[in-house]
Amino acid sequence: MSYLHWAPVTEGLLEAVCVVDPQTLRILTVNGAACRLLGAGREALVGSSVLDWTADPQDEVYWAEWRAGIEQTLESESAVRRADGSVLPVQRRVGPVHPVGGEPVVLWAMQNLAEWRATRQQLETLLAELRSVLESASDAILVCDLDGRIRAFNPAFAQLWDVPAALLTDNDENAIWQHLGLQVMDASAFTAGLQALQRTPLREAHDLVPLRSGRLLECTSRPQLARGRPIGRIYVYRDITERAAIDAKLRLAAKVFEASLDAIVVTDPQLRIVACNPAALRLADHAHDDLQGQPVEALLTAPTRPQWTSEASAALHAQGYWEGELWLRRPRGPAVALLVSWVLLRDANGQPLNTVLFAKDLSEKLEAQRRIEQLAYTDPLTGLPNRLLLGERVAHAIHVAQRNSQGFALLFLDLDRFKSINDSLGHMFGDRVLVEIAERLQRCLRQTDTLARLGGDEFVVHLHDADREAAARAAQRLIAAVMQPVSIEQMQFTLSGSIGIAMYPDDGASLDELIQSADTAMYQVKERGKGHYRFYQPQMNADLLQRVQMDHAMREGLRRGEFVLHYQPRVDLRADAVPGCEALLRWQRPEHGLVMPSTFIGVAEETGLIADLGHWVLREAVAQAARWHASGRALQVAVNVSALQFTQPGFVQDVADALHVSGLPPALLELELTESILIRDAEEALAKLQALAELGVELSLDDFGTGYSSLTYLKRFPLHRLKVDRSFIASMPEDDVDAAIVAAIVQMGHALRMEVVAEGVERAEQLQRLRALGCDHCQGFLFERALPAQALIEWLDRRTQACAAPAAGAPASR
């Protein structure tokens, strides 16, 4: 192997190396380090004797043995003579090398001991100085224990972090950490970094900490060791805002720069890209050379703020930092949303040096935000806009309407009897029906219109730029769409919908007012048969307010004891006696006088108060009948029962409790029921009627003939009386059809072994016809109107006296 082949092998070594021929002791080749060590050029060294450069006499003996063919390895301190004659101490290592297929050579390697000795002395001196000048160090030093508690910090730390004077003496470490968090640009990232270091006590870390003041700090963190074990952590902070510090410390922070998961971009003062870390390159899908030198706006953009670079540049120069959201352009794929923190670095003279841009990928956050907004603005079942989104669109429509003097319509649609679908087929089936209906309604509207679901089976439609005629046509289309047969899982049925219409601005100046007006109109439709539409009229709200006030007044009146009972006698036509009476509710309302039931019963039924009123009437009537019975009068009392009261689970028990508390014999209580109560759920009604009959109370069917009754069920019900509605009695003397109906009812009642009672008897002709038909009982003004309890007793006493001394001509019952 030629000695020339040794040159590339030795040139890359840090040690000074000479390759020597063992026979001639001539230097075959040297590396650059040997030239510098010996102070001579290659031409002077190559070919010269190795003894020309030794300064130790023993070296001549050693090299003579090599010439004699004795191979040996030597490592020791020695001295060499440089070209200028000076002697230099070295650490040398000499040994043979046998290349394959070549002649053996001697490898003479040396290190300068003078530099090493000087360095060691310098380090010892430096260590002594560090011990003495720790408190006067210009770097900010913070010392913590393994749990993150602050043990000490030097004055430079307090000054760099602007620690208030009060915290320097209070020793309140929580307040100090809180103060540090307020100084940094990203408090959450700063805290997370400290916690990560606390979890790994042996880890060393280097980081950049941008402050809100515009300064940039470099933090070096190392574990504090004692006998090889960590006892705490030392944080060293340095202000690297100035260019000299940046140039020095960016190289030290290269590992952090390269390994950071956040994108970091460094620019020059003209915002041209100087460097990007790997995370930034991966995020941008670029190679390093593609971005270097490009303006930062070639990489970042803000579609909604075209002048964002000017805004950011102005903020950087004025405040030293800028923070905002930007979009990262990529050569392939969609742009990426970023949260950007941008810091300006200045030199000692305050001139801009560089900017450092820190960016976090917001893709997941934006997707989560998009999903949250979707859930916030849309109905999860149908995907339709919800009330919040409807409110925004209607608010915009109001703004446009005010500017253009145009109106629009708001329709409130409620499905009729939808609850029965949920109750019978389940809510999951009901949800499928709602989805089907929503799709139908959507097809009936224009793209400029909005269909929203408020919840349940309630839908609201905003008709853009629509007058009353257009609103009526849209309502007709919507009702027709709802009424188309629904077919789900081989089950077909038909629905209907009721619609209330409110017009802007006549019927409301806001969404809430328009919905309230449309809802009021829709309920008017519900009350009038369902399945059609109606426009709002101001009187509707007045009626609604009146009903609300009436409901409140009734509830207060019931609490204050304003309701009273009057009793209308029931006359037995066969015995010409008064075996019973009907308890009728009256309201002694302050400042209004005595209010009749026709004024308030409808509102009570609508609001559900009728059940509480019925419960009070039952107990009060039973108590009064018991008092009469205790005084020696066996007078049966009839009590009207509402549908809501009858369907209460504890109704039978309420009757039993009233009888038990009062001590009234059950036969002296009669419960009057309507046909609608009995046919709503005939089997349940039959069970309750049988339970009531077992208690011993009597039962009557009120207003018979005005509803629909199945004779099959009627035969099974344990009823004692049928009460003929007053509408048939009123015209019976003049109307043969009504007279025939009454006759049929009397005959049917007797055939079913029931007594028949005629209500509303006011004329003698009516009484005469009823006697002729064989009617059992009558009540009405011909005999007496409803009277308070004491007045009824007085009337009965007068009637008894009149019967005892009969006067010819006049009816004894009067």
Query: For 794-806, what is each residue's pLDDT tens digit?
Result: 999 998 888 776 5
- Checking if the pLDDT of 523 tops 90, the result is no
396 — phi, psi (to 5°)?
-65, -40
Q: Which of 31-45, 251-265, 454-468, 569-583 bottoms out in mean pLDDT, i.e. has the lowest?
A: 251-265
- Checking if the pLDDT of 807 tops 50, the result is no
Give CA separation, 116 vs 39, 48, 111, 122, in Å.
18, 28, 9, 10
**DSSP for 284-308?**
HT--HHHHTTSBGGGTEE-TT-TTH
- Checking if the pLDDT of 669 tops 70, the result is yes
Contacts of 535 (CB under 8 A, 6+ apart): 468, 471, 472, 500, 501, 502, 503, 521
Taking residues 436-446, what's their average pLDDT? 93
Task: Tell which wins on pLDDT, 460 or 297.
Answer: 460
pLDDT score for 313: 86
What band does 778 get if pLDDT is binned at 50, 70 and 90? very high
C-alpha torsion sign, points 587, 593, 594, 596:
negative
pLDDT score for 540: 66
- Checking if the pLDDT of 251 tops 70, the result is no
Task: Tell which wins on pLDDT, 546 or 46.
Answer: 46
Give CA separation, 809 vs 554, 796, 800, 805, 813, in Å.
46, 20, 17, 13, 12
Which secondary-structure segment (H or E) carries 565?
Answer: strand 563-572
* 570 in Cβ contact with 757 (< 8 Å): yes
What band does 808 get if pLDDT is binned at 50, 70 and 90? very low
* 654 in Cβ contact with 618 (< 8 Å): yes
Rg (CA), the chain: 53
The per-residue pLDDT for range 110-135, each reduced to its tens digit, is 988 887 788 778 877 775 665 565 66
Sequence spans of domains, the chain = 3-119, 134-239, 252-367, 378-536, 550-794
Give CA separation, 170 vs 174, 182, 620, in Å.
11, 19, 77
CATH architecture of 134-239: 2-Layer Sandwich (3.30)
DSSP state of 510: S
* 260 in Cβ contact with 283 (< 8 Å): no
C-alpha torsion sign, points 464, 470, 475, 480:
negative
Residue 16 bridge partners (DSSP): 110
Instruction: Give the span between the Cα atoms of 793 and 42, in whole angstroms.
Output: 146
* 675 in Cβ contact with 706 (< 8 Å): yes
Task: Tell which wins on pLDDT, 680 or 361.
Answer: 361
The per-residue pLDDT for range 186-219, each reduced to its tens digit, is 888 888 888 888 888 888 888 898 998 888 999 8
pTM reported for the whole predicted model: 0.47
- Checking if the pLDDT of 329 tops 50, the result is yes
Most confident of the ranges 160-174, 250-264, 687-701: 687-701
**742, 745, 747, 753 alpha-carbon torsion, rounded to 10°:** -140
Query: In CATH terms, is domain 3-119 a member of 2.40.37.20?
Result: no
Taking residues 54-76, what's their average pLDDT? 85
- Give the SS3 label for residue 639: strand
The per-residue pLDDT for range 457-515, each reduced to its tens digit, is 999 999 998 999 999 999 999 999 999 998 888 788 888 999 999 999 999 999 999 99
* Cis, peptide link before residue 269, omega less than 30° from 0: no
Of the CA atoms within 13 Å of residue 694, those in its CB half-sphere come to: 8
- Tell me if 134-239 shares its fold with 550-794: no
What band does 68 get if pLDDT is binned at 50, 70 and 90? confident
Which secondary-structure segment (H or E) carries 325?
Answer: strand 321-328
Residue 640 bridge partners (DSSP): 672
Question: What CATH homologous superfamily does 378-536 map to?
Answer: Reverse transcriptase/Diguanylate cyclase domain (3.30.70.270)
Taking residues 416-444, what's their average pLDDT? 88
- Checking if the pLDDT of 410 tops 90, the result is yes
pLDDT score for 814: 39
Instruction: Give the span between the Cα atoms of 299 and 357, in whole angstroms.
Output: 12
pLDDT score for 166: 77
pLDDT score for 805: 66
The letter for the amino acid at 259 is A
* 645 in Cβ contact with 610 (< 8 Å): yes
Taking residues 763-792, what's their average pLDDT? 93
What band does 137 get if pLDDT is binned at 50, 70 and 90? confident
Taking residues 250-266, what's their average pLDDT? 76
pLDDT above 70 coverage of the chain, percent: 93
What band does 393 get if pLDDT is binned at 50, 70 and 90? very high
Taking residues 31-54, what's their average pLDDT? 91
Residue 91: closest CA among 115, 123, 61: 115
- Checking if the pLDDT of 105 tops 50, the result is yes
- Give the SS3 label for residue 356: strand
The per-residue pLDDT for range 330-342, each reduced to its tens digit, is 877 788 888 888 8
Q: Where are the beta strands (DSSP E) in 98-188?
A: 105-112, 140-145, 150-153
pLDDT score for 765: 92
What band does 365 get if pLDDT is binned at 50, 70 and 90? confident
- Give the SS3 label for residue 99: coil
Residue 751: closest CA among 722, 723, 727, 729: 722
- Checking if the pLDDT of 106 tops 70, the result is yes
pLDDT score for 117: 80
CATH architecture of 252-367: 2-Layer Sandwich (3.30)
What band does 812 get if pLDDT is binned at 50, 70 and 90? very low
- DSSP collapsed to 3 states, 239-282: ECCCHHHHHHHHHHCHHHHHHCCCEEEEECCCCEEEEECHHHHH
- Checking if the pLDDT of 418 tops 60, the result is yes
Topology (CATH level 3) of domain 550-794 = TIM Barrel (3.20.20)
The per-residue pLDDT for range 706-751, each reduced to its tens digit, is 655 556 667 788 899 999 888 889 888 888 888 888 998 899 889 8
Contacts of 463 (CB under 8 A, 6+ apart): 408, 409, 410, 411, 445, 449, 470, 471, 474
CA 536 to chain centre: 35
- Checking if the pLDDT of 769 tops 70, the result is yes
What band does 625 get if pLDDT is binned at 50, 70 and 90? very high
pLDDT score for 133: 59
pLDDT score for 543: 66
C-alpha torsion sign, points 580, 584, 589, 592:
negative
Task: Tell which wins on pLDDT, 363 or 707.
Answer: 363
pLDDT score for 712: 64
Instruction: Give the span between the Cα atoms of 492 and 503, in whole angstroms.
Output: 36
Average pLDDT, the chain: 86
CB atoms < 10 A from the CB of 247, how many?
A: 12
Q: Which of 261-275, 448-462, 758-772 bottoms out in mean pLDDT, i.e. has the lowest?
A: 261-275
Instruction: Give the span between the Cα atoms of 438 and 234, in whole angstroms.
Output: 66
The letter for the amino acid at 252 is L
